[in-house]
Structure formats: C-alpha cells, structure tokens
A and B are shown apart, each in its own frame.
Chain A
Amino acid sequence: MFNRSSSRMRLLAALFLLLLLASSVSAQDAMNEFVVGVSETVVTLDMSMRSPSLAHKQVSYAIYEPLLRLGTDGSINPALATDWTMSDDKMTITLNLREGVAFHDGSPLDADTVVWNINGALDPDFGEGAVADLGRIESAVALDELTVQINMSAPDANILPALAAGSDARALIMSRAAYEAMGADEFAFNPSGTGPFKLASWEPGVELVLERNEDYWGESSGNADRVSFRVILDASAATLNYQSGDVHVMFSILAPELPLLEAVPGTVSGAIPRGVNVLTLNSHRPPFDNIHNRRAIMYALDVDPVINLVYGGLAQPARGITPPNSFAFSEESPPRITRDLDAARAELAAAGNPDGFEFTVSVVAQPFRIQVLEIMQASLAELGISLSIQANERARHIAALREDPSIAEAGFVQILAHRSSMEGYLAPFAGCKATIIMVNYCNDEYEALLAELPSIFDSAERAAHVGRMNDLAWQDMIAVPYLYPEIPYVYRGDIIDGFALNGYGLLDWTNFTVVDG
C-alpha cells in the first residue's frame, strides 16, 4: 500500500515539475518575437555556396548586406558603400566604404575584406565556383583602408545592380576574419555578416532563429528581438499553423487557401511578382522543330483556368518573356497569350499534322505545377494534341532538361525575375546547345542583342533593346511564355508593425516592430 501511494506521489511530482518547466519556457516568450513559416530548408549560409531556396534568400539578406542597396523603385542606394563613382570610360568604379561597420564576429568592415569577397566571387576555385552573376568585373583592389576600386573587362550597364546583389545573394559581404578563422565548413553554419540580424540558433529542417544585431550600424526603428523561420513542409499544415497563431508570416501559400488565411483577424496580404512560367520546347527534335507546332501550342493553351484555379487570380497571362515588374515590360507588344482554336488548327495544318501530335513534358513533381500541366493537357486535348506529363523529382527533371532530352520533348519551368539584371534574366532563354531543352533559343540575332545589352547604359534604349529580344522570342515561339505568377504572402498586421518588402521582394529587416498584444 505504502509503496503504491509513494510512487503515485512521485509521478505527480514529476508531472508538476514538467509543467513548471513548460511554463518557465513560455514565460521567456515575452521577447519581441515572431515566426515566419517556410516550406523549404535553408541549407547553407556561406555565400560562396549555391542555394536555390527563397527561404535562403530571406535569411541571407537579414544576416548579410551588399555594398549597394536596391530600392523598391529600382533605384541604387548606399549600403555598405556610402558613395561610388564610375570612370568616364566606365572601366573602373571606386567605392567608399562606410566607417565603423563591424561584422557579427566583431571584425571591422574594410577594403581588404570587400576585395576578398569580390575576388572570391570571381574565383572558380573558391567555394562552389563563380556562382554570382558579377557581369564583367575583372578584379577588385583596395586603394586604402576604406576605398575599393573595381576594374572592368568591358563596360557593363548592369554592374551597379549586380553589386547591389540584385541577381543573387553572392554579392553580399561576408566576414573574412570569421571565414578564415573557422574554415568554410564551419562558417556555413556560423555565418557572420553586417546585417541587422544575426544567427541565434539553427536546427536544420526544423527552425532557424535570428536575433537582433545590437551593434547594427544602420538605423533600425524596429523592436523585434527574434525572428524564427520554422520549416513546415506540408502546405495545409502550414495554413493550419497560421490559423492557430503559431506562425505569423507566410510565404508560398496555397492560393486556394488564401481566403482562409485572410480570414484570420489582423491579417494583411500581398503578392510578389515572380518571373515567368514557360513551357520550353525542344526545337531540335520533332515535333517542335516545326515552328507551326510551337505556335499551335501557344494558341491552344487556355490560361484563364490556370490563373483562377491554381493561382487564385494572382497571375497574369504572359506577353512574351519579359516579366511585368521589369523596366522593359510593355503593355502593347507582343500581344498576350490568347486562346484561338481556329488559329491553332491552321498552324497544325501548316505543320502537316492537322490531327495533332504527341509530346511529353517534364516537370518538377510539385502539386501546383502538375495541376497547371493537367489543365494544359485538357486544353490541348481538344485539338488532338496529346501531352503526357512526366512528373519527376528535381534531379530527374534537370536531367531531362539538360542531359537527356529523350525523357521529354518539353519542360515546364519557372524563370525567376531578377529585378535589375535583365541580362541574367534573358540569358536562360538563349543557347544553341542541341542537348538542352531548357529553352535553348538558337538565334544569332537574339544572341547578338544579348551580348550587346550590357554596353547600353541609356535606360530607354535598354528597354527598347530588350523589347526587340522579347519580340524575337515571341515571333519564333521558342518557348511558350505562359503566365506571370505572383506569390502571395500574408502576415499578422496586428502583431507585426513595419512589415515591408525591400527592392529584392524580400523582407525588409530594418523596421520590424512587434506590437504588444
């Protein structure tokens, strides 16, 4: 008897302790903290490594900063460099660095560090090779402790946006001292930059926590102490987590569930333009070596159901390959993709296969992409064009696009808009390699225009130039630009004040304020 009751007491005591522990943990939550739900894991924070995820970009731009910053209007603003001058021959750029900036590890920002970063980004043997699109930079040298000179191999109109890390995260400045002290392997998980937030803890696949950098050089009106990036892979689980208040910011939302999220009190929603979705056609092999078959596809596709059912209205039918948030986008030319079954039939007849043809499309097996293709499939079937879907995992999809075009005649891909670097955006469309069905537009004029683009500095002239390329691509219908998607996001306006997106379409970290609720 005695024994039994004492063990029961012990159990109760243990339970009590557990509860106490639990409550003490939640008591710490009085910090100004909020949680961002992300659907993908951040794998490395070494900027000399490649990492394709959006979550990676969000986190990178909190920890690191570029030399110049891109404004929401596309303007170039000071960041780690206070001012810059370009020589008249446009062959050198001199940047003056901000004084008194320290990295998270305490080491100071100086010209040597910046030079090491830029030259590293150009060095194929550093990190994972030249991952950044740094245009025509040849080298960087330190003129004095706070002055950096960049030497060009040729004039490049895109160089300032590139230094503003407009095309990828690689032009963000890492702490050389920390990198060399720890070694690359360690640094990737203990990053050190100059940004308004620094890494607090990181459990791969679970959660990455950033905490405010108390020594941040810049103005930061926000009061947020900690921001967590919590990985929730399953879209409907993510929605439920937002509804229950466990998550306060969400990107990459299931569009049909947007109304559910918007119904959560205090929710503010918005959308970020995200390049163009294209159906890439292998023009080196039948059936798409015939331009009429390519055009038939364009006329036969029905884009409205995709916009309504898959994107919840958050997309526009494409007008060529230039995305609408680009300076070169034009409302007039070329026309938007429109369904015209008679025109499609005429093209099929002109191609010599009036009853249609068969082809296979490779796509990354993500539910929404498959859904898009199923809708395409149905709209093409009306003309006897039979589209088979090959829903591959990413490795096989890439193999299909690049190495093994026998897997598919076409691919469905999304070309991400790099807001400032039009060259980087247009380049994936060009190429004459017969083995790649990526887009692979083999056209001398297009290639020449692309090569010329960096040397055009006048913005109106640049826009006209890009417009010409856009027209060419449309005319040859080498890839069917399908729609311009936008990714919706939601956040709890009643909890987070000062929520804003910067010129990169990423979180602006300087003004997050957690409202006392």
Chain B
Amino acid sequence: MLRESAVDSLRDKQSIADSATYAMTGEATVSAFLLFARRFFARPLPRFAFVLLILVILGALFAPIISPYDPIKPDFSAARQAPSAAHLLGTDDIGRDVLSRILYGARVSLLAALIPLSISISVGIPLGLISGLLKGWTDDLIMRLLDALLAFPRIILIIAIAGILGPSLLNALVAIGVVGIAPLARLTRGLTLSASEEDYVLAARALGSSNWRIMLSHILPNITAAIIVTISLDIGGIILAEATLSFLGLGIQPPNPSWGSMVAVGNRYIQTAPWISLAPGTAIFLTVMSINLLGDGLRDALDPYLRNR
C-alpha cells in the first residue's frame, strides 16, 4: 500500500499530536473547566494576553462611545498632525483621528476572525468527517479536491479569489474562509481516522450503529477539543490575512477603517507622518500576538503532558 506522503502525514500528525493528547472525553464537567481555568491563568503571559484581548473586544464593542472623534469625518485643517493631547495617535492624511479609526477598525478585525471561521468550520468539518468515516472513493474524491486547494500557496489563493470576487470586506472574508476549508477538513479527517480506530467506536459499530450516529455521537464530541485548539491558533493568521487583503485594497471600502487599509494609506507618508501606518500596524501586531498567546495557553492548559515537563 502506498504510504501517505511525509509532508501530509507530518502535517496531520503534528496537529493530531498537538491536539489528540488533550482531547477531552465527552463528559467535560464544571470542575474540569475550573481546573483548566486555574492552569490557564496561572501563568503571566496568557493573563496578559487575555486582558489585552478583552480590551480590544471592549474597544470594538464600545467604539461609538469611547472614540474621541468620528472615525470617518475628516477635519481638513488638522491633516497629518503628529500625536498630541487632542489626537492621542495623531491624524491621518485627511485629518481623521487615528485612535478613533483604530477603535472602529477593531470591529473589522474581529469580524474578520468570525466570518471566515464560520465558513471554514461549517464546510470543512463535515467534509473531513465524511471523508474520514466513509473512506473509499468518497474519501479519494474529497481529498483530491482538497489537495488541489492545498497545492497552492494560501495567501496567493486568497488574493486570487478576493481579486476575482471584487473588492469588498465581505468578499475578502469569504475568500479567506473558503481557502481555510481545506486545511480544516484535512485535520478533521485525520482526527476522525484515528478516532474511528478507538475501542468505543469499534464497539458502537459492532452494536450496529449507523455511520451518522457514530459520527455525531461518538467521533465529533471526541475530536472537538482538538479542533478548537487548532482553530484558536489559526485566528491570528486569519486576522493577518484580512489585514493583508485590506492593505492590497481588496478588502474594506473607504472611508471605513480597517487596520490593514490604514497601514496601506499611511505607507505613503512614512517620512512625513509615520504614525498613520505605525499605529494601526502595532494594533494588528498586539491583537494577533495576544490571540496566539491565548492559543498557546489554551494548549498548555489542556495538555498536562507538555505542562509537567
């Protein structure tokens, strides 16, 4: 029999190894959650990340209340002003308050995390489950299609799809979501394959349970935790992808602020007004970093093996 390619198997194995060790059994209880939370917050970095992310989320939610200025209303007489007491992060090329735009831009970034994820999840996970459970020609067909998608550098594919769909925030997010289907489906398939060899699945099958029943009540609950961890580590990349698309002018339409498009505009003034691009760039950096920190913390807290070492 043909072995899977090392690249693929490594890709799968890594994510499976990352996640399978801490796959919780179906009966996660309140005390388990408390234990998890205690572990999670025991260390300073996840704590720091958690606080930062809460700040970003609050900033996004309450942007209309806490923003010092209207994010899209320009003040022509105050264009390209350096940070000051009146404008804490300065003003942009046509005199809009950079801080207010960053606060509103946080909404786009959070949206950017949610919409692509829901697309990838709602298509990728079922595909992976079906593929891993039915095996045979269905599996072959699905995997061939996914391979075609995976055979192409991700960001190029996203740019191509977004470019073809036309510039708008929704199209950009759809493109990111569609491209995210393949890796998620692959991961789910790998997890499903290994879970379906487990005793409880074999037992259920011996008792005559249908594929659907096995999938929904035995496999899915057992691989959920692993998938959640992987996804939490992906969110940062998704936000970066939105920022990149907006940076390239394929995302949000002006004058609405997105961090990526703000950097693109500011890019033209790096000598005369560097704050226009550096401030939103830093916002992207800090947000993505705290999401990654959270993902790391999540994995460590769920994984006693790695922790005890």
Contact = CB atoms under 8 A, between A and B. Distances in A.
A234 B249 CA distance: 14
B74 A257 contact: no
Interface of A: 234-236, 239-240, 254, 256-257, 260, 302, 305, 308-309, 365, 367, 370-371, 373-375, 377-378, 381, 388-393, 396
B38 interface: no
B255 A236 contact: no
Contacts of A381: 73
B254 interface: yes
B271 A367 contact: no
B166 interface: yes
A396 B166 contact: yes
B254 A374 contact: yes
B253 A309 contact: no
B163 A256 contact: no
Nearest to A388: B253
A393 B270 CA distance: 24
Query: Ordered nearest first, which 5 A-B pairs have the shortest CB separation?
Result: A305-B76, A365-B249, A374-B255, A389-B254, A378-B74
A236 B268 CA distance: 5
A375 B271 contact: no
B167 to A, nearest CB: 6
B249 to A, nearest CB: 5
Contact of B254 (A236, A302, A391, A396): A391
Interface in B89-114: 93-95
Contact of B271 (A260, A308, A377): A260
Given A239-B271, A389-B255, A393-B163, A367 B73 contact: no
A236 B271 contact: yes
5 contacts: A260-B272, A367-B264, A374-B254, A388-B253, A393-B163
A365 B268 contact: no
Given A370-B254, A378-B73, A389-B254, A235 B268 contact: yes
A100 B117 CA distance: 72
Nearest to A399: B166
A393 B80 contact: no
The size bracket of the interface on B is 20 to 34
A386 to B, nearest CB: 12
A399 to B, nearest CB: 10
B150 interface: no
A240 B270 CA distance: 10
Nearest to A368: B268
Interface string B58-97: 0000000000000011101001100000000000011100
A374 B271 contact: no
Contact of A389 (B76, B94, B253, B265): B253
Nearest to B80: A256
A253 to B, nearest CB: 11
Q: Which of A234, A236, A396 has the most CB of B within 10 A?
A: A236
A375 B167 contact: no
Given A389-B253, A396-B166, A375 B94 contact: yes
Contacts of A240: 271
B272 A256 contact: yes
Contacts of B72: 378
Given A371-B94, A374-B254, A254 B74 contact: no
Contacts of B268: 235-236, 254, 257, 367
A309 B273 CA distance: 13
B94 A305 contact: yes
B267 interface: yes
A235 B264 CA distance: 12
A257 B271 CA distance: 8
Chain A interface, >50% SS class: helix
B269 interface: yes
A308 B80 CA distance: 12
Contact of A236 (B76, B166, B267): B267
Contacts of B255: 374, 377-378, 389
Given A375-B74, A377-B255, A378-B74, A391 B167 contact: yes
A309 B94 contact: yes
B167 A365 contact: yes
B165 to A, nearest CB: 10
Nearest to B77: A305
Interface centre among A240, A305, A378, A388 (most CB of B within 10 A): A378
Contacts of A371: 93-94, 265
B253 A367 contact: no
A257 B267 CA distance: 12
A380 B253 CA distance: 17
A234 B163 CA distance: 20
A388 B253 CA distance: 9
A256 B269 contact: yes
A376 B219 CA distance: 57
A392 B163 CA distance: 10
Given A236-B267, A365-B167, A391-B167, A373 B254 contact: yes
B153 to A, nearest CB: 20
Given A305-B94, A375-B94, A378-B74, A236 B167 contact: no
A195 to B, nearest CB: 35
A381 B94 CA distance: 15
B76 A308 contact: yes
A367 B268 CA distance: 9
B285 to A, nearest CB: 20
A377 B76 CA distance: 13
Nearest to B93: A371
A390 B254 CA distance: 8
A395 to B, nearest CB: 10
A365 B79 CA distance: 21
A381 B80 CA distance: 22
A391 B95 CA distance: 20
A239 B94 CA distance: 21
Interface string B146-175: 000000000000000001001100000000
Given A309-B79, A392-B166, A392-B167, A374 B74 contact: yes
Contacts of A393: 163, 167, 249
Contacts of A309: 76, 79, 93-95
A233 to B, nearest CB: 12
Interface in B221-249: 249
A389 B253 CA distance: 7
A127 B103 CA distance: 54
Contacts of A396: 166-167
Given A309-B79, A375-B74, 12 more contacts: A234-B267, A239-B271, A240-B271, A256-B80, A256-B272, A260-B271, A305-B74, A309-B93, A309-B95, A374-B255, A392-B166, A393-B249
Contacts of A308: 76
A383 to B, nearest CB: 14
Nearest to A234: B267
Nearest to B249: A365
